[in-house]
Amino acid sequence: DGGITQSPKYLFRKEGQNVTLSCEQNLNHDAMYWYRQDPGQGLRLIYYSQIVNDFQKGDIAEGYSVSREKKESFPLTVTSAQKNPTAFYLCASSIQGAPGRWTDTQYFGPGTRLTVL
Amino acid sequence: QKEVEQNSGPLSVPEGAIASLNCTYSDRVSQSFFWYRQYSGKSPELIMSIYSNGDKEDGRFTAQLNKASQYVSLLIRDSQPSDSATYLCAVGGYNKLIFGAGTRLAVHP
């Protein structure tokens, strides 16, 4: 079964903790993305990566970090510097590879719901 | 700042009616356009993509694109209660998609 998996489904963070959200895809897609969605809001781009070992900041990167060591994996770390991390986090991927090309269809994982205790 | 605008709704339509969802975008050179459906608490799923001016039909769904007016719409014919969801419009830019905040559709029996 091809697709995008995210884990965990629910995550609870204490104040001052760093937590890492997992995103894995077996679609052989080059590009991967992380979004944050707050209740009643649209999707805001945190980070994206178009090729292995390269990633770019999105619109709200502060307090987050990523890595792209493998094509299949794009984990997101929510650091203690992110003051309001409670949100629904969505990972997506698309075929597009070369930087500077028009973005094509993105497919989403099931999401991780992060709550700060 | 490149933007995608949608009416937040809720758009309420009776079962069997046509639901019309609209979206405008600011980046005149955008080339790819998408409609996603998102049920409450779930992730977005792709309904339609459209790249050329005109209409594109897929079952009960029709996407319409007018690049001159910077306008894209989604028509849902024979609306069903199961169509009740938030519909996100997304516009393709260089390297990323720009999402609207979504329109909430409620189909009542």
pLDDT value, residue B99: 92
Confidence of residue A15 (pLDDT cuts 50, 70, 90): confident
| Bigger pLDDT: A104 vs A33 | A33
pLDDT value, residue A95: 86
Chain B interface test: which of A103, A107, A108, A115 (most B C-beta within 10 Å): A103
Nearest-angstrom CA–CA distance, A32 and A55: 9
- Beta strand pairing call for B85-92 and B97-99: antiparallel
pLDDT tens-digit readout, A53-71:
999 999 999 999 999 999 9
Chain B interface test: which of A4, A21, A25, A102 (most B C-beta within 10 Å): A102
The answer, yes or no, to whether residue A2 has pLDDT greater than 70, is no
Confidence of residue A100 (pLDDT cuts 50, 70, 90): low
For residue B81, report the phi and psi dihedrals to the nearest 5 degrees: -55, -30
For residue A68, what are the CA distances in angstroms to A44, A51, A53, A75, B98? 20, 8, 5, 7, 22
B42 and A43 within 8 Å at the Cβ level: the answer is no
Calculate mean pLDDT across residues B72-86. Answer: 97
Q: What is the DSSP string of B55-66?
A: EEEETTEEEEEE
Q: Is B46 an interface residue toward A (CB < 8 Å)?
A: yes
Query: Which residues on adjacent β-strands are paired with residue A10?
Result: A113
| Bigger pLDDT: A48 vs A83 | A48
Six-digit token pair at A10?
Answer: 């629910």
pLDDT value, residue B2: 66
Nearest-angstrom CA–CA distance, B35 and B97: 11
Average pLDDT value for chain B: 94
* % of chain A with per-residue pLDDT over 90: 74
Question: How many C-beta neighbours within 10 Å does residue A37 have?
Answer: 21
Confidence of residue B94 (pLDDT cuts 50, 70, 90): confident
Which H/E stretch holds residue A48? strand A43-51
Q: Are A85 and A34 in contact (CB under 8 A)?
A: no
Which residues does chain B have within 8 Å of residue A102's beta carbon, measured at their own beta carbons?
Answer: 31-32, 92-94
Confidence of residue A83 (pLDDT cuts 50, 70, 90): confident
Confidence of residue A1 (pLDDT cuts 50, 70, 90): low
Six-digit token pair at B95?
Answer: 């390297």
- How many residues does this entry show for chain A? 117
pLDDT value, residue A97: 55
Helix (H, G, I), strand (E, B) or coil at B82: helix
